[in-house]
Amino acid sequence: MLARLIPMLLLALPALADIPPPPGAQERWHSELIRNAGFGCNEQPDFGTATPAQQASFRARGLEVRLVECRWGRRYLVGTPPRRYGAPQPNQPPPPAPVVEKLD
């Protein structure tokens, strides 16, 4: 019985790593980054796409950018470090800090 159970558990382990975040987690995280930067944002902002020039500017700083639109028309560019997969590498430099820029 145990000999059958172990291979089944080993096959199920990779599936555990691909569990998506709960609904609204990205929105809450981005609105928290905006509030921590000293701006106001509601709990459920909408996401948009930054212009190619804005994307290139943030990419040069090692960040992925998202256009975040909060209530009342407030818009922000939120740059976050790209996700690193796997175990942390000891010789790798730390990721850049998130950046929030107000538009309008």
| Helix (H/G/I), strand (E/B), else coil: 83 | coil
3-state secondary structure 13-62: HHHHCCCCCCCCHHHHHHHHHHHHCCCCCCCCCEEECCCHHHHHHHHHCC
Please indicate, yes or no, if residue 12 is contained in any of the structural domains: no
**Is residue 63 included in any domain, yes or no?**
yes
Q: Residue 44 falls within a domain, yes or no?
A: yes
Compute the mean pLDDT over every residue in the chain, rounded to the nearest whole number.
Answer: 85
User: Domains in the chain: how many in total?
Assistant: 1
User: For the segment 36-66, what is each residue's pLDDT rounded down to a tens digit?
Assistant: 999 988 778 999 999 999 999 999 999 999 9
pTM: 0.75
**What torsion, rounded to 10 degrees, do the Cα atoms 28, 103, 67, 79 define?**
-80
The contacts of residue 71 (CB under 8 Å, 6+ apart) are 41, 42, 45
Span 61-103, pLDDT tens digits: 999 999 999 988 899 999 999 988 888 888 888 889 999 999 9
Residue 45 lies in a domain: yes
Neighbours of 97 (CB within 10 A): 10
Distance between CA atoms of 25 and 28, rounded to whole angstroms?
5
75 is a domain residue: yes
- Domain hosting 41: range is 23-82+95-104
Residue 15 maps to a domain: no
**Does residue 52 sit within a domain?**
yes
Question: pLDDT band at 11, cuts 50/70/90?
Answer: low
